[in-house]
Amino acid sequence: MRQYFADGFSYDDSVAHPVTFRNSLGHTFELHVLADNVVKVRHSLGKDAIMPPAAAGCQFETRVHTEGQEMTVETNLVRVTIKLPQFLLAWYSKETGECFSQDCAVRAYAYNDKQMWHYRKRFPSDRYVGLGERTGNLVLNGRRFRVEPRTDSMGYDAESQDPLYKYHPVLLTLNKRITHGLYYSRMGGAVTFDLNAEFDAMWGPYSYYQIDGAQEMEYMMVYGPTVREVVRSMGLLLGGPRHLYPRFSFGYLASSMAYAEATDAQAQIEGFVDKLRKYDIPCDGFHLSSGYTLRGDDRCVFTWDRQRFPDPEGLARKLKEQGIYIFANVKPWLLRNAHPDYEEVKQKRGFVWQSDHDVPNSVYQWRGGEHTMGEGSYVDLTSEAGYGYWQQKLASELVDKGYMLWLDNNEFTLLDDEKSTLACEVPPRQYDLKYVDQPWKAGAGPRISHEIGASAWLTLMMVQASYEVVRKANPNERPFMITRSTVPYCQQLVSQTWSGDNRTDWKTIRYNTSMGVGAALCGVPAMYGHDVGGFAGRKPEPELLVRWIQQGILWPRFCIHSWNDDRSITEPWSYAETLPVIRASIHFRYKLIPFLYSLHVTEWYRQCEPLVRPVFYTFDSDQKTHDQGFEFMLGPDMLVAPVSEPGHTTREVYLPNQTAWYHFQSGKYFNGGETVTVPSTTADYAAPIFMKAGSLLPLGRVMNSVHAQPDSERRVQIFPERNNAARRTFTLIEDDGKTLYHETGKAYTEVHIWMEADADEICVGLDISNDGYIPDYDTIWVTCPIQTETRPLRFMTNGEATVMESLPRMVDDDDMVTYYGLPVPWKEVA
């Protein structure tokens, strides 16, 4: 491997913005100021550049100073110094003057004919996190990763496997005082991140980014200084969700490969619904695995095995009558010697193409049984023919029959990137890409796949094409799709993703936790979760299944899925002895839906903040949280500590400082900054939960499915501070959970439930800031579940104080606490 180092650069003062530097070889560097805390850096070798020139102009105050061979570019928050002629950048906080990122001397930007590199100095306190879905510990120091979706990683080792399914080149660096982020936005060939796995005494500790097959490199530097500010800014760069998610998607979503593989598959699935009612298990969705597409020994997408599924429309109708939506698995390739449409799509050039032989590009993908494969071709979703075929078949074979979409195996593993071409006829028109340049314009002609990052863009185009079908079929309803592979920007259109085909093992609980909270920092869809119980491998034993479900109910996406070695099915009723506690766990999940749904509106939809997040997300000034990867926060106030060791009946956990905490299960009060041990057994319906002092937890009623009965109850549990009169608020969002009328007519209600706790009393009240939707309840029932709390409750209704003795009461039969009814002054909606 030969490297050339960038050198010989000088400032081009003829260009006001971007700040531009050139050398005699025709290479350029550009600094684009996108916000006071965001600067885009582009390095172009000037040969076969595929990106169009960036738009000029800057909306933010930028100051450029020159002094000898060093220049300074300043915004209101950051200062970057540029050392010439080699172009070496150092980044400083304007507030503290501290350098938080610095390029390596001499070799900062290296290149050859096929690769480009960016080398940065590693400071002693730097901790690297992010890069999408990474196995092992949350902190990634000392490891090297390939950031490319290249493998179908069924049964992966959650501690060490790499790569997996997702492409998110977003890296956050935490140090003692400042967090910053880098988003390498050029979606080209294979990408490697070395996070100080490599060491060279000449340069000291460093990390590097490497991209193959590129003549341009681009990254966005995002200054915090907090983790939260970095993630929110990344959210603005990558774009937030287009729509709210349907409320049903927060319920239990069932799945197993074995149902659709059975010879009487439709009867088995219908029987599964009967068992849900028999065992009193709520459910809102069912994943239909690809067994429905079997034709002999081959899986042929968009076809139905009528022996296994004699009445697809009837199946979808029966499940919907029970309040259960069904998601059909779709894969983006056609098998060459098996699929009835292969020749038709080939003649229309609707496949990714092999330019040197003028034939469809060949890949080897799954046929029928385990480890079987056959030759096939990916549908080119940038071609008019492929895009049209995909949309027509989705509509006629699935959506029009009553099925929602589960986009699977969509990593687009191309075996010959240098000769594969995309037609580039259909643009990524549904995405907000204002901070990056699109890699092609419609009608510009075919492009070599590795030049434009075909795998990533095909994933985006699969999401887009599917989204348009769903929107056209149901224009007034919220679109819902699930995808296995994700790349930046797809979170704008897709609803859910998961950590893929994990393996049944105790350590998977532990490392899926760190994977999930790391992915949350990188813009993956907020409805993220795992295959509870493990997808591949052995059937989970009773203890393992209970522990998995105890924490699985606290992830935004809750799905039990399996393809066990013995072909058994992991179900809530797999073991008679664990059914009662698993039933209680799933019931608790349904009680949490008002909490989960409101967080998804206020945190994710409005602010681009993840629902599940690392503990350090809010408490990054507490350095003990920086290595805390096996616990997670659900929203800003709930800390969850999964149990991932067999035989354990207690859980030790560090509680961040800056606040006090309540152990949810016992009500015990703990000061922050302590490591505590709490009991946790398989008789508990949830993993250990800690509520931040000053928080409020809204709860709903248990129903067979989210819309099965009137949603007629709201309770709120309060966890008061010991002596702090500051107002603490939870924003409760209510709407129909189905339609888009909240977008067009403000058809939603926003209730701000607040608490003020001083040394003598606790005051609780509510304010309504929007009342465009009238829920099915007229009372919010409030309690303080802490048995040691002796301060009286006072309530504010219609601006007047009411003592708790004058309000209606209700005693909960399960936890024996008293709730007080706070009337809600709804207004009639015209």
Q: Which residues pair with 220 in a beta bridge?
A: 40, 183
Identify the helix (H) or strand (E) that includes residue 268: helix 265-278
For residue 348, what is the DSSP state? T
308: β partners: none
Q: What whole-number distance in Å separates Cα of residue 700 and Cα of residue 247?
A: 13
Residue 368 is predicted with a pLDDT of 82
Three-state secondary structure string covering 159-205 = CCCCCCCCCCCEEEEECCCCEEEEEECCCCCCEEEECCCCCECCCEC
Q: Compute how many other C-beta atoms are within 10 angstroms of the C-beta atom of residue 61.
A: 10
Our separate counts of H helices and E strands in the chain read 14, 56
Smallest Cα–Cα separation from 192: which of 216, 167, 172, 173? Answer: 167
Report the pLDDT value the prediction gives residue 58, as an integer from 0 to 100. 60
- pTM of the predicted model as reported, rounded to 2 decimal places: 0.96
644 phi/psi in degrees, rounded to 5: -130, 25
User: How is residue 346 annotated by DSSP?
Assistant: H
* Amino acid 450: pLDDT: 64
Fold of 4-233: Immunoglobulin-like (2.60.40)
Residue range(s) occupied by CATH 3.20.20.80 in the chain:
247-494
Contacts with 99 (C-beta within 8 Å, 6 or more apart), sequence order:
90, 91, 92
Would you state the pLDDT for residue 47?
A: 59
Contact 326, 281 (CB under 8 A): no
Under DSSP, is residue 693 helix (H, G, I), strand (E, B) or coil?
Answer: coil
- Please, which residues bridge with residue 146 across strands? 192
Return residue ranges of the chain for CATH 2.60.40.1760. Answer: 4-233
3-class DSSP state of 652: strand
Nearest to 193 by CA among 179, 207, 181: 207
Q: What is the pLDDT of residue 417?
A: 65
pLDDT of residue 59: 65
Residues of the chain with pLDDT under 50: 48-56, 830
Q: What CATH number was assigned to the domain covering residues 247-494?
A: 3.20.20.80
How far apart CA 195 and CA 193 sit, in angstroms, is 6
**339-373 per-position pLDDT tens digit:** 999 999 999 999 999 988 899 999 999 888 777 89
Neighbours of 472 (CB within 10 A): 11
The enclosing H or E element of 670 equals: strand 669-670
Of residues 464, 750, 760, 814, the one with CA closest to residue 606: 750
Amino acid identity for residue 800 in this structure: E
pLDDT of residue 816: 80
CB 628 within 8 A of CB 654: yes
